[in-house]
């Protein structure tokens, strides 16, 4: 509750209006109440109006791990989106064609995610989308680690791969830090991909090092450079995908 209230307060400072999307799902621990948070730009946006794209992350933290705070795996994506929202408030035409979504329930209740356990928030949101669907979605997951190795999934559509590759070239980023995975990745982009939405999942190589889902994932592993690059990358891609003109 405190986390969602904090996100609402910060987004309101930059002119974004939030709406909670609550739902209940059956889990290995029984029925659980989840809450996604949606945000659109402006004082009285109509959340039923179509938008061109979505910028998303997850805000839940995996349970049952001693000392685990989820600084990178969860919090970093939300932090990057808050700063992106602040900057986009100065570009209202773009902001008006975008919805920000903070997913609950990305993590599984069992040790490992599978088709039935995990991605609760994104599955619910994607299944509830009405036509016309967004053209694309960008998901940020684990984007703040010092020495990060972002690897987009091998199944990324060509349309999104092109804007990603162009951003790497234009920004002069290292392909060691910004590359492509050799395999598919199960994350919050998948339910949207299954509905035909073009997706781009910016995710750290969680097998690089021994921090993932351990107490080592704390604020000490985060780096200013990683957040700066993630923000610049996200903005560069959004500016390619969103026209600089009023939403229609």
Q: Give the ranges where 50-189 is alpha helix by DSSP (H).
A: 76-88, 92-95, 120-128, 158-171
Q: Are 100 and 38 in contact (CB under 8 A)?
A: yes
Local structure of 93: helix, strand or coil: helix
Catalytic residue from among 106, 187, 204, 217: 106
Catalytic residue among 10, 60, 107, 141: 141
Residue 191 near residue 201, CB atoms below 8 Å? no
Q: Is 141 a catalytic residue?
A: yes
Phi (first) and psi of residue 224, to 5 degrees: -60, -40
Is 106 annotated as catalytic?
yes
Cis ω before 132 (30° cut-off from 0): yes
Residues that are catalytic:
106, 141
């Amino acid at each position: 509750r405190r986390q969602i209230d904090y996100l609402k307060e910060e987004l309101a400072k930059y002119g974004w209006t939030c709406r909670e999307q609550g739902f209940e799902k059956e889990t290995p621990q029984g029925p659980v109440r989840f809450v996604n948070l949606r945000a659109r730009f402006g004082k009285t946006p109509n959340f039923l109006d179509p938008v061109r794209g979505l910028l998303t992350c997850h805000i839940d933290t995996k349970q049952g791990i001693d000392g685990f705070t989820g600084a990178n795996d969860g919090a970093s994506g939300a932090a990057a989106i808050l700063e992106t929202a602040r900057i986009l408030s100065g570009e209202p035409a773009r902001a008006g064609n975008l919805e920000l979504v903070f997913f609950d329930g990305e993590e599984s209740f069992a040790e490992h995610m599978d088709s039935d356990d995990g991605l609760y928030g994104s599955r619910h949101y994607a299944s509830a989308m009405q036509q016309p669907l967004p053209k694309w979605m960008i998901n940020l997951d684990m984007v703040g680690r010092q020495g990060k190795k972002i690897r987009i999934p091998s199944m990324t559509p060509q349309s999104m791969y092109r804007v990603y590759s162009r951003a790497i070239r234009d920004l002069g980023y290292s392909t060691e830090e910004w590359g492509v995975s050799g395999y598919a990745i199960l994350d919050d982009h998948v339910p949207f991909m299954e509905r035909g939405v073009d997706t781009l999942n910016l995710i750290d190589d969680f097998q690089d090092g021994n921090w993932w889902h351990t107490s080592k994932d704390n604020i000490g592993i985060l780096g200013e450079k990683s957040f700066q690059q993630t923000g610049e990358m996200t903005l560069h891609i959004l500016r390619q995908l969103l026209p600089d003109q009023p939403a229609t």
